[in-house]
Structure 1
Amino acid sequence: MPPDYPRLSFRIGGSIGSENENALRRALVDENHDPRLALALLLNVVYGIRVHRIAALKLTDLSVSGGAARIQLGSVGLDLPPVATSWVEIILSGKIDKRRFGGAAHDNTWIFPGYQHGSHQLASSLAARLKNLGAKPAVAHQASSAAIITQVPPAVTARILGISITTAAHWHKLTGDAPAMR
């Protein structure tokens, strides 16, 4: 029988950490920041979206209407803060190219194109890029998820975070909220 290994438990509450706050703050004010990475930081740090879901986002998941940016996460649409509108416009304009060996530089499918045509960037590569900016994606996801859990019903939490409704309801129960009352 294989040895049991310790699992990380989900902690309710906590801080997103000064590293994540500083990385996000730099992304918000530095105009030379890659807009894709700034969007990834925003989605991870503020909305608690896991890096593997961010890496798999398609250009069709983004839109700008009436001067407001929006992202579609499965069946849930999120209105992004005004600061993200310019990032989304740049991403959708196609000004960001990915240099690849022996192929077209521009990808018309993925926000984070991979090195292989037709595939998105690996989540581990995106996480490493976010870490190079000073962020800690796992810590940000956990703290942001805890905040979301206490503010929205379990069904919406499940869709935003990409977890099962049963798990979301269990987490709501751990916070002392009564999801049935929402």
Structure 2
Amino acid sequence: MTSADIQHEEGQVFLRLGADAVRLPPPLDELAQQLPEQVPAGMAGHLADADQWLFPGRRPGHPMDATGLAKRLRDLGIPLRAARNTALLQLGAELPSIVLADLLGIHISTAEAWSAAAGARWTTYAGSTR
């Protein structure tokens, strides 16, 4: 994600994710607006592109890798596994497993397991056959 993915419309802040934009609620909107202002440390800061990454990596012109981002989140006290599982459980409750599997690129049996754990029963969903 780059600074261009943070959009302002009618006093609200949106984060563009692919073709869609998601409205960010307070205080997340304020924090997201501060991200483009951060400049990478060291040489990477001097070589930063005009299209600045929201989470710049240590190598100039590259975003932070997944391992580095995970470490920063853990250092801030954010339990990654619990947050991931909570999100999957919520999605399993709200979406049919076939939609969840296609959306996240996970196996259909994994999506069905999350739906079952959430107590959702989508057996009558019209799109549940492949």
Tell me if TM exceeds 0.5.
yes
Change in Cα spacing, 1:126 to 1:59, as seen in structure 2 (3 Å) is same
Structure 1 counterpart of 2:93, from 147, 150, 153: 150
Structure 1 counterpart of 2:6, from 49, 62, 65: 62
1:32 aligns with none
Asked whether 1:118 is paired with 2:66, we answer no
Give the % identical residues.
20
Distance in 2, Cα, partners of 1:102 & 1:83 = 29
In the alignment of these two chains, the number of paired residues is: 122
Structure 1 counterpart of 2:25, from 69, 81, 88: 81
Over the aligned positions, Cα root-mean-square deviation in angstroms equals 3.0
1:178 aligns with 122
- 8 Å contact 1:155–1:165 — kept in the other structure? no
Using the size of structure 1 for normalisation, the TM-score is 0.54
Asked whether 1:95 is paired with 2:37, we answer yes
Structure 2 counterpart of 1:163, from 99, 105, 109: 105
Structure with the greater relative contact order (CA < 8 A, sep ≥ 6): 1 or 2? Answer: 1
Q: Deviation per CA, 1:80-99, whole angstroms, max 9, x where unpaired?
A: 213222122223xx421111
* Matched letter for residue 58 of structure 1: T
Paired residues for 1:10-49 under 5 Å: none
Distance in 1, Cα, partners of 2:52 & 2:64 = 12
* Matched letter for residue 110 of structure 1: W
Rg bigger for which structure?
A: 2
Using the size of structure 2 for normalisation, the TM-score is 0.71
Q: CA deviation at 1:150?
A: 0.9
- 8 Å contact 1:149–1:168 — kept in the other structure? no
Q: CA deviation at 1:157?
A: 7.4
Distance in 2, Cα, partners of 1:134 & 1:70 = 25
Change in Cα spacing, 1:169 to 1:75, as seen in structure 2 (3 Å) is farther
* Matched letter for residue 18 of structure 2: G
* Matched letter for residue 15 of structure 2: I
Distance in 1, Cα, partners of 2:25 & 2:87 = 16
